[in-house]
Amino acid sequence: MNPTVNPLIRSEKSPYSVHAVASVLDLLELLTGEITAPTLPNLAETMGLSRNKVFRLLSTLEERGLVDKEESSGYYRLGLPAAGLAQKILKSLSLIRISHPIMENLARKHNEAVYMTVLSGDEVLFLDMVDSGQQIKAASLVGERFPFFTNAAGKAIRALESRDILERVFRKRPRRQSVMDVKLLEEELNQIRNRGVAVDTGGLGEGIITVAVAVRDYAGKVVGALTMLGPSFRMLTERLETEIIPSLMEGADILSFKFGYAKI
């Protein structure tokens, strides 16, 4: 065993791990401050890898802006985009920590799956979930991504964005999506904006209904959507209107308040 290898670098690898990914994560961990002189030779020696391999890893990270090299010293440092990525991770963790208790209350009250969803590009990411105790329910969607226009969560978030952003998104849609499709989507988003809630049937699978209300921060920016999902035979119109939608709107208001948003 090489005595110079940093003990923080994990020597035992899971049989399912991807070695290159593990090496990148180890390298980023070192660059957070675990090594005093982060030159290529020192990084390679500490990680127990060849200089050529570590150089390729560093070059890839440099291309993405996650790592910068000081020409005078030869030291490698984390780049500014790495700080931005860290902030996004912290924001997601904060969103989960604050929203989870409210999600638990909603799931207990209605016995349906409740998610916190966020927008990632033109897709919706299902970030966190509190499941229902129902025997018949959809499989967990945590970590899954879907085009924003296929579900209530994406529509609830997009409906509150500026028209310029929406037009830019529409321009990137596949050519097979007709002008009429875009027009209908735009009309639906206007209705969602006016009502404050989005309801979608079948977008995430046959017989599945999603209901979502956007959550805002102190600046009025949408940070995600509180989303409930269930089968259509339980998510009946009367139940949606009298029970679920009022509860989701109340929960989203509480979350928005916790993030500093105040209705005028």
Q: What is the pLDDT of residue 171?
A: 62
Count the alpha carbons within 13 Å of 51 in the hemisphere toward its beta carbon.
5
- pLDDT, mean of residues 114-141: 89
112 has a pLDDT exceeding 50 = yes
What distance in Å separates the CA atoms of residue 15 and residue 38, rounded to the nearest whole number? Answer: 29
| Residue 200 CB contacts under 8 Å (≥ 6 apart), including other chains | 150, 151, 152, 155, 209, 210, 211
**213 in Cβ contact with 251 (< 8 Å):** yes
- pLDDT, mean of residues 241-248: 97
Q: What is the pLDDT of residue 5?
A: 40
The predicted-structure confidence for 124-136, as pLDDT tens digits, reads as follows 989 889 999 999 8
Q: What is the pLDDT of residue 37?
A: 84
Higher pLDDT, 119 or 253: 253
The predicted-structure confidence for 15-29, as pLDDT tens digits, reads as follows 444 577 778 778 887
Reference 129, options 115, 143, 149, 118; nearest CA is 115
What is the overall mean pLDDT for the chain? 82
Q: For residue 108, which amino acid is it? A: R
Q: What is the pLDDT of residue 17?
A: 46
Q: What is the pLDDT of residue 64?
A: 81
13 has a pLDDT exceeding 70 = no
**1.10.10.10, 3.30.450.40, 1.10.3470.10, 1.10.1370.30: CATH of 19-78:** 1.10.10.10
Q: How far is CA 167 from CA 159, 179, 186, 225, 226, in A?
A: 12, 12, 9, 21, 25
What distance in Å separates the CA atoms of residue 216 and residue 201, rounded to the nearest whole number? Answer: 24
Domains 19-78 and 84-258 share a fold: no
9 has a pLDDT exceeding 60 = no
The predicted-structure confidence for 62-102, as pLDDT tens digits, reads as follows 888 888 888 888 888 887 677 666 656 655 677 888 899 99
What distance in Å separates the CA atoms of residue 243 and residue 250, rounded to the nearest whole number? Answer: 11
| Residue 149 CB contacts under 8 Å (≥ 6 apart), including other chains | 155, 158, 185, 203
Higher pLDDT, 186 or 205: 205
Q: What is the pLDDT of residue 30?
A: 82
Q: What is the pLDDT of residue 169?
A: 58
The predicted-structure confidence for 149-200, as pLDDT tens digits, reads as follows 889 999 999 998 765 555 665 565 555 445 446 778 788 888 999 999 999 9
| Residue 175 CB contacts under 8 Å (≥ 6 apart), including other chains | none
| pTM metric for this prediction | 0.63
What distance in Å separates the CA atoms of residue 220 and residue 11, rounded to the nearest whole number? Answer: 46
User: In the chain, which residue ranges form alpha helices assigned H by DSSP?
Assistant: 19-29, 40-47, 51-63, 80-110, 152-158, 163-171, 179-195, 237-239, 245-258
Percent of the chain scoring above 90 in pLDDT: 38
- pLDDT, mean of residues 25-38: 78
Question: What are the residue ranges spanned by the domains of the chain?
Answer: 19-78, 84-258
Q: Tell me the pLDDT band of 34, cut-offs 50, 70 and 90.
A: low
**Straight-line distance from the first to the last Cα atom of the chain, in angstroms, rounded to the nearest whole number:** 64
**78 in Cβ contact with 32 (< 8 Å):** yes
- Report the CATH fold assignment for 84-258: Beta-Lactamase (3.30.450)
Higher pLDDT, 214 or 179: 214
What distance in Å separates the CA atoms of residue 139 and residue 129, rounded to the nearest whole number? Answer: 11
Q: What is the pLDDT of residue 107?
A: 96
